[in-house]
Chain A
Amino acid sequence: MRWLSDPLLAVDHLSMRFGGLVAINALSFTVGRGDITALIGPNGAGKTTVFNCITGFYKPTSGRIALAQGGTLERGAIEALTRSGKKRTQGVNPELFLLERMADHAIASEARVARTFQNIRLFPGMTVLENLIVAQHKTLMAASDYSLGGLLGLAKYRAAERKAIDLAKAWLEVVGLVARADDPAGDLPYGAQRRLEIARAMCTNPVLLCLDEPAAGLNNRESAELTQLLRGIRAQTGVSILLIEHDMSVVMDISDHVVVIEYGVKIADGTADEVKSDPKVIAAYLGVDDEEVAVAEAGSVAP
């Protein structure tokens, strides 16, 4: 129950409207520090929209998304920051961020929320290693004195680049792609591209890793490997993981906490076992559990 006792991210009455369509309606949930949280729901429930709001690709119509770095998210502190009108706190522990007020790249570089995409978004023409170096843009940019020192070939930048390569190599070892480091990322097989995208997200040194359907298109063996990989990443770095997934075997196997949404509204929230037996979830996934309709259909369809 870490999502109640020690939350890292709190989504509070989040709403997103596209014209007349309400994609998310007053959705609230929390993500526990160090948890693997799954966000599930039928197709079109608004899961990816939630992701896009958290990572800043959409500006939510209303609601609040608060994230704490290095400590527990306190309600009082969030309220104080909200009233101050600022985007984030400076120099306090825990550091607080209001993601709905921040730009997408700032959410990635300052609040340290990394994400992957439903349809893989690598840099296909660049090599595997370069993909991981690009992810360390913020550190390297500072080391190159915003290009001036780097242009003059200062040793400081060269040392920073070497460190970046070492970090990239470490992640390549985790995802088993060292041998292909110098190949174009677009040449990798599908499963390897998925793993590379996760490694690239981890190279940004995130506190929260958001994975949009990481097991999509993987076979059973690859899905099992993915679960292993995610568990390993969490054990090694302590990163909290929020994932959208349709593969229920992966979700039930890996998640500490499952949030179920349907039509942009939360219908269940709890451990995997609690959610599995929730009648509303079963109805959402298996169809309408309406007595009358069931009876009527049984009467007409049954031979």
Chain B
Amino acid sequence: MGAPADALKKALIAGLVTLGLCFPIVALRTDANFSNQLVLTPRWGLTFTLAAIAAVGVFLISLLRPAGFERATPKRALDTAPPHPFFRYLPRIGLVLLLAYPFLALAISASGGPGLLKLVDTYGIQILIYVLLGLGLNIILGLAGLLDLGFVAFYAVGAYSSALLTTTFGLSFWIVLPLAGILAAFWGVMISLPVLRLKGDYIAIVTLAFAEIVRLVLVNWVPVTGGYAGISSIPKPTLLGLSLGPEPGSLTSLLGIPFSPFYRLAFMYYLVLALALAAYWATLRLRTLPVGRAWEAMREDEIACRSLGINTVATKVSAFAAGAFFGGIAGAFFSAHYGFISPKSFEFLESAMIVAIVVLGGLGSMIGVVIAATVMVGGTELLRELGVLKAVFGPDFDPAQYRMLLFGLAMVMLMVWRPKGLIATREPTVRLKPQPTRGAPAVSAGE
């Protein structure tokens, strides 16, 4: 049987299956009319459209990939072929783009695109907060291999401690920022103590429970945390002691330029960008230090670690403390940026999101975390306003309601194609032979 015939057969089956599935769900729709009677509305057109889409889709896929979806197998690296010069400059290009982003956003919104707040806040600051959180969990889960399902606890500790310290004691954001990191790290140490004797799945359960405890304390300790009402009017960070707001005595009025919300937005963007870059740099450094290597070795084989004289208790505690520190910093920034926090922001879904970022990015890969955070956070926001989908599913289709569904589908497909995450290759922390210079010709003409 030829490939097209085979594809046709598969397409036919897929179409029939879709038809069968859609018959009770889509084709027969019941609505209640004014006298509260159920009225049956057949929707055969939509049903057949969906079946046709499935059949055509399967037909095309089977033509393109007759073997179906194979699992991605790690290809043997052919180091002889030098990467394209473009990849050599990619990090620099990326950095320049990140630095220029607020101004690009200004240009886009001026030329009729989405609003500036949306562009810088949602697509810039929010993604970078998740990058910071992802980098934190990357140490615990990606490097040390400890499945922490309660990472949001550190985020919450950082956010609440910084909010309480600034609102109650009037401390400056710049003092509170490292303090929040240290307090969260302290929590990391506390959580790691019961975890020390556990392995794998049990760690996940204990950390999950700890995060719930933190959340319930936030909800119920009303005199301190305000319960569900949360903490509001948290002071904004200042630049060299000068505020960026509209009030007199702020930086803009001193400079004699008119106030614009863009200044503060850009300032917060650069602040979180600097924090994320610092976290990235610190992780890069830590990986080449004995602690970092011990984290990775512990992920690979804990018993072998102990046989080499590595104290796995101290190693686990240090991984939790370092990861929690980044989480606490992210929390402090979050509370200062939005000016309001409540237990709603620190639910299990957040932990799941951060775990998904680390796993999708590829365990231990920092670039993977950055890409996954961009795709996950930016993607869900983007799906909210995709007008294209309206053209496909009719005018009363609201993409915002289906975004989680589409998103889940995308995640499942990604995990089938790339089971080890987006970036599955691990860069060694040390090499005996120096890597051939990237982009340079690998073999000289004389050889």
Decide whether A and B are members of one complex: yes
Pair A151/B432 contact, Cβ less than 8 Å: no
Do residues B430 and A165 form an inter-chain contact, with CB atoms below 8 A? yes
Contacts A129-B430, A165-B432 known; A104 to B307 CB distance under 8 Å?
yes
Determine the residue in chain B with the shortest Cβ distance to A55: B307
Q: How far is the CB of A157 from chain B (nearest CB, A)?
A: 8
Q: How far is the CA of A137 from the CA of B306 in the complex (A)?
A: 11
List residues of chain A with CB within 8 A of the CB of B296: 123, 125-126, 130
- B307 near A115: Cβ-Cβ < 8 Å: yes
- CB pair A121–B430 under 8 Å, yes or no, is no
Among B291, B304, B309, B432, contact of A138 (Cβ-Cβ < 8 Å):
B309
Is A29 an interface position by the 8 A CB rule?
A: no
A141 contacts across to B, CB distance below 8 A: 290-291
The reply to whether A204 and B309 form a contact with Cβ atoms under 8 Å apart is: yes
* A182 proximal to B (CB < 8 A): yes
Does the CB pair A151–B289 fall under 8 Å?
Answer: yes
Residue of A nearest to B303 (CB): A121
Chain B residues 264 to 314 lying within 8 A of chain A, measured CB to CB, are 282, 285-286, 288-291, 293-294, 296-297, 299-301, 303-312
Knowing A151-B282, A151-B289, say if A123 contacts B433 (CB, 8 Å). Answer: no
Q: Tell me how far the C-beta of A245 lies from the nearest C-beta in chain B, rounded to whole angstroms.
A: 19
| Interface contact A127-B301, CB-CB below 8 Å | no
Q: Return A244 CB to nearest CB of chain B, in Å.
A: 15
- Residues on A with C-beta less than 8 A from B260 are none
Instruction: Assess whether B428 is interfacial by the CB under 8 Å rule.
Output: yes
Interface centre among B296, B303, B310 (most CB of A within 10 A): B310
With both beta carbons as reference points, the residue of chain B lying nearest to A108 in the complex is identified as B309
A135 contacts B by Cβ under 8 Å: yes
Say yes or no: A126-B297 contact (C-beta < 8 A), given A121-B304, A138-B309: yes
**Is B71 part of the contact surface with A, judged by Cβ < 8 Å?**
no
* Assembly CA distance A169 to B310 (angstroms): 21
Q: 1/0 per position for B310-328, CB-CB distance to A under 8 A?
A: 1110000010000000000
In the bound assembly, the distance between CA atoms of A127 and B301 in angstroms comes to 14
> Interface residue count for B (Cβ, 8 Å)?
32
B84 in contact (CB, < 8 A):
no
Is the CB–CB distance between A130 and B286 below 8 Å? no
Q: Which of A258-292 contact B (CB under 8 A)?
A: none
Inter-chain contact A108/B308, CB cutoff 8 Å: yes
Q: Give every chain B residue within 8 A of A140 (Cβ-Cβ).
A: 289-290
Chain A residues, Cβ within 8 Å of B428: 126-127, 129-130, 182
Q: Tell me the nearest residue of chain B to A178, going by C-beta.
A: B432
Q: How many A residues face the partner with a CB closer than 8 A?
A: 46
Distance of A303 Cα from B144 Cα, bound (Å): 65
Report which residue of A105, A115, A124, A184 has the largest number of chain B beta carbons within 10 angstroms of its beta carbon. A105
Interface residue B429 (Cβ < 8 Å from any Cβ of A): yes
A122 at the B interface (CB under 8 A): yes
Q: Are A121 and B301 in contact (CB under 8 A)?
A: yes
Task: Give the distance to chain A from B373, nearest Cβ to Cβ, in Å.
Answer: 23
Are the CB atoms of B308 and A182 closer together than 8 Å? Answer: no
| Residue A147 CB within 8 A of the other chain | yes
A150 at the interface (CB under 8 A from B): yes
Whether B300 lies near A123 (C-beta < 8 A) is yes
Residue B431 is within 8 A (CB to CB) of chain A in the complex = yes
If A134-B293, A137-B294 touch, whether A57 touches B306 (CB-CB below 8 Å) is: yes
Contacts of A182 in B (CB 8 A): 428, 431-433
Report the bound CA distance from A148 to B285 in whole Å: 11
Complex CA gap A123/B297 in Å reads 6
Hey, which chain A residues are within 8 Å of B291, CB to CB?
141, 144, 147
Partner of A123, one of B286, B290, B304, B432: B304
Q: Is residue A27 contacting chain B, with contact meaning CB distance below 8 A?
A: no
Say whether A117 faces chain B, with CB atoms less than 8 Å apart.
yes
Measured between beta carbons, the chain A residues less than 8 angstroms from B299 are 125
Complex-state Cα separation, A121 to B293, whole angstroms:
16
Does any Cβ of B come within 8 Å of A225's Cβ? no
Closest to B433 in A: A182
CB neighbours (8 Å) of A144 from chain B are: 289-291
- Nearest 5 pairs between A and B by C-beta? A109-B309, A108-B309, A123-B300, A181-B432, A121-B304
Write 20 A-B pairs (CB below 8 A) sorted by A numbering.
A105-B305, A109-B309, A121-B301, A121-B307, A124-B300, A125-B299, A126-B296, A126-B297, A127-B428, A130-B429, A134-B294, A134-B297, A135-B308, A137-B310, A140-B290, A141-B291, A144-B291, A147-B289, A150-B289, A181-B433
